Structure 1
Amino acid sequence: MSEVSETLKNKVYFAARDGCAVLLCAILSEKTPEEVHELLNQQVIEEDGQKCTPLIVAARHGHDRLVKMLLSKCQPDIEQEGTVKFDGYVIEGASALWCAAGAGHLNVVKTLVKSGANVNHPTRTNSTPLRAACFDGRLDIVKYLTEHNADIHIANKYNNTCLMIAAYKGHLDVVSFLLEKGANPDEKAHCGATALHFAAECGHVAIVKELLDYGALITTNENGMSPLIAAAERTRADVVEYLITRPEVSHQEKIDALELLGASFANDKDNYCLQRAYYYLHRTMEMRYSNPNDIVLKELCKPVPAYENWVECQTLEELEAIQNNQNALHMESLAIRERILGTHNPEVPHPVIFRGAVFADNARFDRCIELWLHALHLRQLNNVSVVKDLLRFAQVFSQMIHVGVELTFLHVENVLNACVIELERNKEKMVNPGPKDDVEQIMEEFESNITTVLYILVIITKLMKTCTKKEEFRVNSLVYRLNKLNVATREGKTLLHLCVDAETPVDDFHTNDVCKFPCATTAKLLIQCGADVNAMDCNRNTPLHVIVSYQKPISDFLTLHAIIMDLTEAGAHMDTVNNHGETPFQAATSGVAEIILRTQTKLSLKCMAAKAVKSFNLTYQGHVPQSLESFIELHGPAVKQG
């Protein structure tokens, strides 16, 4: 559209958003039917990323009069989709009806339905207007939509039903209505959870009772957790107390649930309470010995070093002896959680991380790292993303270096190994995504992990000055394995590009106290372990192109000199050409970088021949060995061969 019509389009959109029906009517009355159609069916992108038509934004804000005017006089596409934000979630593919239902505007919902809007129009994630109303707990809208043929059985892409979301959000009246209309309480989401699981883990006792009254079965999810265990793990004491009164719950299940409830109170970030923890642990121990003829002993697991090799209490006397020992209760509880839930349960690591963070806050970095390494091991054991865990290690390691606390080499080496494993898995998932994998999210995590592993490399180079030959060999092997992955960002920047770039982002929570770029020692490590010194980013810049533009050639001369020397000595070509047609010499932004480059100028006959091929646009693909094609490509912009 022209600049004038772009302004007009915005004027129409914001008039609709703000409910200015008279103004909008006046604007549109002066336009031809074709112009009106164009103005009403084009999306406008707002600053926060929302992308809507005038009808969608009017419905979203509840402007019923304006919606009626648009529908009666202008006939906009009632099913056109937009991108909106609700409760922090970005919803793609939302219709005007979905927005009205999700925002709780009953009158607009009625107007749209009467005008023929599809009551089951789904979003990209297969969320219907009915589901949006269930999420918000609007029973009036739920009733109206179902009366007009909305399907209560349509689930979203995770097979999460309207009943499940209503149970999760705690809307008892909506749950009761859906059950009356025939919603299946035993339907399972892809994670194996039923509506009963969602209600139990969120602490909605009344909904748990309602679901059971309608015959809901007590089943387990994909992690083997029943609603009772899920409630105990989330410290939902009221739900646990109710469920253990149910006849279908065995004595052993009651013990496990109450013991898990106590153990969870001891290490829960949001509901930490050591008094309640001890109460439930003591109560459970009494239950174990309640029948002298049938004492229920714990089946203890192998002690975990991260839990100080703690062995769980087996008697009331042993438990009472640690009543006033906070650390003992914490370790007892972590051991209990891992025994009951199992090492393959993804819920196990959360409290371990919380307990480690408490140790870090009290400068007990040794204990913090032991616990976090165990949590990291558990997550990678179950193929769960560890993107936040890895960054957390970079932060705490940097904090320790900054305050002068000695780092254990093996700890950093273990995290570096975990980084390599995670990057390998990221690459595999991007190539072969599973049914639950979001490729865009995996790419974001992949890029975050690339930056984090660079931080870890910087940190480990500071320790390698005093490490043993064996330790150095192990790290070099890991870095070689890392280089073989050829990881790069969306912009094509490799680890070596990032390492020599002053613009590389550095996390500002302790990490920026230690990790500075460009970093000569880290670049040297990467180069020595096989990094491609001639790798090109999306702008065809090599690491040499990047470092010669460093803006501190005098104050940080040693870094500039060391990196240029290491790159050129490892075979970096000084006649490679980027997308601007510049060699590193031409891209240099300081005389200092130029001087250093001049001292290293060694133009081979092979390079000159490659440059001639590119300069005269000679056909070479298919006429030279394949190994030479990539070499020739280095020496000039890509040209289509024919």
Structure 2
Amino acid sequence: MDPAPPPPEEGEGEEHLDPVLWLDIPEHPEGGISPVTVSPSLPLEQQIHAAARHGQTAKVHALLGERAAPDQAELLRARVKSQGEETTPLIAAARYGHQKTVQLLLSRFRPDLETTGTVKFGHYAIEGASALWAAAGAGHMAVVQALIQAGADINHMTKIRSTPLRAACFEGRLDIVQLLMQHGADLHLANEFNNTCLMIASFKGHLDVVRFLLDKGADPNVAAKCGETALHFAAEVGHVAVVQALLMAGAHILKNGHDMTPLISAAERCQAEIVEYMISRPEVSKLERIDALELLGASFANDRENYDIRRSFQYLLQAMQERWSDLDNVICKRVCPSIPAYDDRVECEAPEDLIAIEADDHALHMESLAIRERILGSDNPEVPHPVIFRGAVFADSAQFDKCLQLWFHALRLRRQNCANVARDLLRFAQVFSQIVHVGLTVEFDQLLEVISACQGEMKRNLLESEPSEDAWEELESNMNTFLYFLVIYGKTRKATSETDHFRLMKLVYAAVELKPLNRRGQTLLHLAVHSETPVDEFHTNALIQFPCSSTTKLLIEAGADVGAMDAQRNTPLHCIVTYQRVVNDFITLHTIITVLVGSGAHTDVVNLEGKTPLQAATTGVAEIILKGQARLTLKCLAAQSVKKHRLTYQGQVPEALETFIELHGP
């Protein structure tokens, strides 16, 4: 949440810019602000906001001062959208640290201090932020002081229940933390995830803030909703001094919601310094030391950011030596079923077994994956990540069978735990595309499994009562990926039996029955026939492109509605006639138009622009094909006349006929 550099300082450039103001200032690549002038003919609230946001105090005074009090109050309440933020003049001035502008607003115009807006810090958009929260989060001490003196609510929470104190803790501003607490800030208030100020300061590694909060009575053993304590947050990112401070203050080594202690969390994240410190403490048992060392070694063997096979072996050997340190009481490993994806690897039981595979990196990789799953459990969400990484390494060296074994294991683990698998499914589309592109074969049962998973993901997406932006993106990703799989199937269908084709069609039918729509109101069929349907660029676009005639036929065979309209009332027929590659891909264009019309698509349906597919066609070739397929019926002509002459028909004809007439005019 590191804020970008602030706009120009208080009053800078005022004499040169009057009467022109700045508004909606685009950011430099470095995160700064470039000066763009705008006309004073813009709405007054935008002019005031721009002046406040950029510290143009005199302009703020001039623009507001000549207005009546009721108008001033309304202008100061107005939220203006700019660069992902939506703020009032006071919040904007506070966010960017313009003390004089804030002082003017507070002393001369007295705006509502608790009005909230949306402010951005890096990639984070904070909704429901007050001026005090914005100033505290951006580290503007003088502005924070001014707002407190004016009577701002010291504990005013954002939409997700974050307080100004929490914002200051995130930034590590001890001076602001102290000031807020002197004026009554409650350090015990947690956000909606029950994440406390101490937790965020520990996670960010702000040792001075952590110590201050502990001195003021912060409880180090409070757990967030995920079960993690401040000790977890510090340990998993490697803040040794913070871990030491928390333990000295009485922090207990507790388990989170996935049965992971701070020690295990640190080991899973390859935080060797934390592990070595914590295993030296008397409250850590011998078995806990062994588990932590084994997990640390196993994680080094398959971590994308921290891969180190030599350190992996060293820690695995240290753990094994701990197991055998007392020959009268050897601590044997818990026996677990072997996992085919890990080559059915049976873990080493003695130091000599481990030493025997020291030079065999592959054996150490598989040994380590087995160790991680044994210690963490198959239901732990951290287990699949290294499995996917190791599979990707195999894919990069064209060892596709081994890659797929690992990725399917990871997919099944994630689905078993009800995790979002949209990215996993796209990864399969990428590797399948690569396999087919180099002339190899995708096994039908593997393709069927990911198609089934993708259909299940779309079903889950559609159960969202109020889809968020992320939920929409996930649904659209899954819709696109589902189509990628159907294109891949079309490339390999000749080798498929009728029985297998029937199995696949059951899944396609189930997907069509879900009636998924993207944000543009497009169905799977719209996407299959549209040249603008996005295709992933990593291997996938070497094999897949849209429109795709084989995918179109599959969807229609499964019952897709050829007359479905998107948000612009475009049918699939409207989409295909805009295809431009008519010379190089004439067969696709001809096939899809023919199949759509042959399956009942109306050639006289109009979109929101009042255009039929023929009128929407962008090439003469599409027009010729369409004219050759057009079959206007008397019923269509009658419906056109009703729409053309704006005759009343609702409630006077059967409902089915009402729907039919609607097709023929906006």
TM-score (ref. length: structure 2): 0.89
Q: CA deviation digits over 1:420-452, x for unaligned, max 9? A: 121111112x13x7xxxx733222211121112
- Code of the residue aligned with 1:84 in structure 2: it is V
Deviation of the 1:138 alpha carbon: 0.8
Moved more, 270-279 or 293-302: 293-302
Deviation of the 1:114 alpha carbon: 0.2
Q: Is it true that 1:595 corresponds to 2:624 in the alignment?
A: yes
1:463 to 478, 487, 492: 492
1:116 to 130, 133, 151: 151
Query: C-alpha distance in 1, partners of 2:131/2:437?
Result: 54
Deviation of the 1:474 alpha carbon: 2.3
2:452 maps to 417
Q: Is it true that 1:196 corresponds to 2:231 in the alignment?
A: yes
2:305 maps to 270
Query: C-alpha distance in 2, partners of 1:10/1:603?
Result: 54
Q: CA deviation digits over 1:333-386, x for unaligned, max 9? A: 001001111111000011111112222222323322221221111111111111
Q: Is it true that 1:524 corresponds to 2:553 in the alignment?
A: yes
2:127 to 88, 92, 95: 92
SS at match of 1:506: coil
Q: Is it true that 1:451 corresponds to 2:480 in the alignment?
A: yes
- Code of the residue aligned with 1:570 in structure 2: it is S
Identity of aligned residues (%): 56
Q: Is it true that 1:490 corresponds to 2:519 in the alignment?
A: yes
2:142 maps to 107
Deviation of the 1:32 alpha carbon: 4.7
- Code of the residue aligned with 2:216 in structure 1: it is K
1:14 to 38, 50, 53: 50
2:35 maps to none
Query: C-alpha distance in 1, partners of 2:634/2:328?
Result: 92
1:78 to 113, 116, 131: 113
Q: Say if 1:413 and 1:460, in contact at 8 Å, map to a contact too.
A: no
Q: Say if 1:70 and 1:76, in contact at 8 Å, map to a contact too.
A: yes
- Code of the residue aligned with 2:443 in structure 1: it is T
Query: C-alpha distance in 1, partners of 2:81/2:471?
Result: 26
- Pick closer, same or farther for the CA change 1:249–1:18 going to 2, 3 Å: same
1:52 maps to 87
2:31 maps to none
TM-score (ref. length: structure 1): 0.92
Q: How does 1:396-415 map to 2 (within 5 A)?
A: 396-415=431-450
1:542 maps to 571
Deviation of the 1:483 alpha carbon: 1.1
Query: C-alpha distance in 2, partners of 1:27/1:632?
Result: 55
2:605 maps to 576
1:328 maps to 363
Deviation of the 1:30 alpha carbon: 4.8
Q: How does 1:347-386 map to 2 (within 5 A)?
A: 347-386=382-421
Query: C-alpha distance in 2, partners of 1:568/1:54?
Result: 57
- Code of the residue aligned with 1:339 in structure 2: it is R
- Code of the residue aligned with 1:20 in structure 2: it is Q
- Code of the residue aligned with 1:361 in structure 2: it is D
Q: Is it true that 1:130 corresponds to 2:165 in the alignment?
A: yes
Query: C-alpha distance in 2, partners of 1:622/1:339?
Result: 69
2:97 to 37, 49, 62: 62
Moved more, 581-590 or 179-188: 581-590
Q: Which runs of 5+ in 1 are unaligned?
A: 638-642
- Code of the residue aligned with 2:348 in structure 1: it is C
Deviation of the 1:419 alpha carbon: 1.0
1:245 maps to 280
Q: CA deviation digits over 1:560-586, x for unaligned, max 9? A: 110011112222222333223333233
Deviation of the 1:623 alpha carbon: 5.7
Q: CA deviation digits over 1:487-539, x for unaligned, max 9? A: 11021100110111111122222222222111111111111122111111112
SS at match of 1:91: strand
Deviation of the 1:614 alpha carbon: 5.1
2:580 maps to 551
- Pick closer, same or farther for the CA change 1:3–1:35 going to 2, 3 Å: farther
Query: C-alpha distance in 1, partners of 2:368/2:214?
Result: 38
- Code of the residue aligned with 2:80 in structure 1: it is V
Query: C-alpha distance in 2, partners of 1:222/1:609?
Result: 65
Query: C-alpha distance in 1, partners of 2:349/2:652?
Result: 76
2:326 maps to 291
Query: C-alpha distance in 2, partners of 1:628/1:264?
Result: 65
Query: C-alpha distance in 2, partners of 1:38/1:581?
Result: 42
Q: CA deviation digits over 1:235-280, x for unaligned, max 9? A: 1122222222333333222211111111011111111111111111
Q: Say if 1:506 and 1:515, in contact at 8 Å, map to a contact too.
A: yes
Query: C-alpha distance in 1, partners of 2:358/2:183?
Result: 60
2:426 maps to 391
Q: Say if 2:649 and 2:658, in contact at 8 Å, map to a contact too.
A: no
SS at match of 2:42: helix
- Code of the residue aligned with 2:258 in structure 1: it is N
1:506 maps to 535
1:167 to 202, 208, 227: 202
What is the Cα-based RMSD across aligned positions, in Å? 2.4
- Code of the residue aligned with 1:201 in structure 2: it is E
2:592 maps to 563
Q: CA deviation digits over 1:76-118, x for unaligned, max 9? A: 2322222221132111121111111111111111011001111
Q: CA deviation digits over 1:21-59, x for unaligned, max 9? A: 34444554455545544544333322x312222322221
Query: C-alpha distance in 2, partners of 1:587/1:457?
Result: 28
2:189 maps to 154
Q: Say if 2:323 and 2:332, in contact at 8 Å, map to a contact too.
A: yes
- Pick closer, same or farther for the CA change 1:613–1:301 going to 2, 3 Å: farther
- Code of the residue aligned with 1:42 in structure 2: it is A
- Pick closer, same or farther for the CA change 1:8–1:494 going to 2, 3 Å: same
Q: Say if 2:132 and 2:147, in contact at 8 Å, map to a contact too.
A: yes
2:8 maps to none
Moved more, 257-266 or 23-32: 23-32
Deviation of the 1:14 alpha carbon: 3.3
Query: C-alpha distance in 1, partners of 2:664/2:575?
Result: 17
Q: CA deviation digits over 1:537-563, x for unaligned, max 9? A: 112221112112323334422111100
Deviation of the 1:3 alpha carbon: 8.1
Deviation of the 1:465 alpha carbon: 2.5
Q: Which runs of 5+ in 2 are unaligned?
A: 1-37
- Code of the residue aligned with 1:206 in structure 2: it is A
Moved more, 585-594 or 488-497: 585-594
- Code of the residue aligned with 2:425 in structure 1: it is L
Moved more, 573-582 or 451-460: 573-582
1:640 maps to none
SS at match of 2:119: strand
Query: C-alpha distance in 1, partners of 2:99/2:628?
Result: 75
- Code of the residue aligned with 1:445 in structure 2: it is E
- Code of the residue aligned with 2:558 in structure 1: it is C
